[in-house]
Amino acid sequence: MYLARLIYTSVPTHDFSPDDISGILETARHNNREHSITGLLYFNHRYFLQCLEGSRSNINKIYQRILNDCRHQEPLLLDYREIEVRDFPEWEMAYLPETEQTRSLYMRYSPTGEFSPYHMSGESCHQLMLSLRKVLPAV
Ligand SMILES: Cc1cc2nc3c(=O)[nH]c(=O)nc-3n(C[C@H](O)[C@H](O)[C@H](O)COP(=O)(O)O)c2cc1C
Q: How far apart are CA 17 and CA 126, in angstroms?
A: 26
* Cβ atoms < 10 Å from Cβ of 139: 9
**pLDDT, tens digit, 9 for 90 and up, residues 74-128:** 999 999 999 999 999 999 999 999 999 999 999 999 999 999 999 999 999 999 9
Instruction: Please state whether 23 falls in left (phi above 0), alpha (psi between -120 and 50) or beta.
Output: alpha
Nearest ligand 1 atom, CA 72: 31
Q: Tell me if 45 sits within 8 A of 16, measured CB to CB.
A: yes
Q: Which CATH number fits domain 3-133: 3.40.50.300, 3.20.20.140, 3.30.70.100, 3.40.50.2300?
A: 3.30.70.100
Which of 102, 107, 100 has the alpha carbon at shortest distance from 129? Answer: 102
Nearest ligand 1 atom, CA 31: 11
Relative to beta strand 48-55, strand 38-43 is antiparallel
Residue 17 pLDDT class (50, 70, 90 cuts): confident
pLDDT of the residue at 1: 77
Report the pLDDT averaged over residues 3-17: 95
Report the pLDDT averaged over residues 37-64: 97
pLDDT of the residue at 46: 95
pLDDT of the residue at 105: 97
Ligand 1 pocket: which residues have CB below 6 Å?
24, 27-28, 31-32, 41, 48, 50, 62, 65-66, 69, 71-72, 93
Which of 66, 12, 48, 59 has the alpha carbon at shortest distance from 129? Answer: 48
Report the pLDDT averaged over residues 20-36: 96
* Cβ atoms < 10 Å from Cβ of 35: 16
Half-sphere exposure of 45 (CA within 13 A, CB side): 5
